[in-house]
Amino acid sequence: MEILSENKCFGGVQGVYSHMSKISACDMTFGLFLPAEADDGPVPVLWYLSGLTCTHANAMDKSAAQGWAAEQGIAIIFPDTSPRGEGVADDEAYDLGQGAGFYVNATQSPWASHFQMWNYIIDELPGLVTKEFAIDPDRQSITGHSMGGHGALTIAMTLQDRFKSVSAFAPIAHPTMSEWGRKQLGAYLGSDESKWVGHDATLLMRDKGFDGPMLIDQGGSDQFLDLLMPEALAHAIAERRQEAVFRLHKGYDHSYFFISSFMEDHIAFHADALYG
């Protein structure tokens, strides 16, 4: 692992690190904020999964997360959204290829050799950070935005025993029925739609839900509402009687201005679960 940068931040350290990923078969970069409490021992951690076109840096730089995390004494991990670099497959469209890993393990050419983001997020990166840093593997929560909200919800509902809580900002809520989903799932996983089911938050909510608290924030003026399909997930939550708070905020869009406006709420929400 290589240290790319480490900066003092709200009494803790905001670092950026690079490592050779065996799963992704390329170098991967991630950000990690450690609060001051990490000097005394392992701290709980919140995973933040970013959306289409983002790197590790977008949420790290724009979400205003570190101050609230320092206040609560929790770490935040900002992974990249895909493999990158020479020899890694890409596409001319912004919503496929590099920057658009969609948090799945690709099985189709040319993506399969590098795009193994599901295993990277649930296996390789957690193993690395808990080995190298003062992170408590028994106290983890997860959140994300847009494509990352899709990833956070599907990962949490699949790994029920790992995460104390889950939240999402404007998640891609029903990708098997949306062009933000059908395109990527078809490219990465192939045409057999039965293999897509485990990567659809609405379908997973109908099937199993989440054994813990859930918070979802959606902007009422989000320019991508028709692609996100939040109403499908809201209906599934109500139908299942899932423990959840689903908030629609009038006038807010899909940007980091929206995310930073409600980041304090999300971090406090997760801190309650992590320390509860």
Active site residues: 146, 222, 254
Is 61 strand, coil or helix? helix
CB half-sphere exposure, 60, CA atoms < 13 A: 26
Token code pair at residue 192: 């057999």
Query: Is there a contact between 151 and 198 (Cβ–Cβ < 8 Å)?
Result: no
Tell me how far apart the alpha carbons of residues 244 and 33 are, in angstroms, rounded to a whole number: 27
Token code pair at residue 22: 């065996």
CA of 226: how far to CAs of 124, 148, 209, 221, 222, in Å? 34, 17, 23, 11, 9
Query: Is there a contact between 234 and 178 (Cβ–Cβ < 8 Å)?
Result: no
What value, to the nearest 5°, has the Cα angle with vertex 63 and ends 61 and 64? 90
Query: Nearest CA to 122 among 95, 96, 160?
Result: 160
Tell me how far apart the alpha carbons of residues 188 and 121 are, in angstroms, rounded to a whole number: 17
Quick one: which H or E segment has residue 166?
strand 163-169
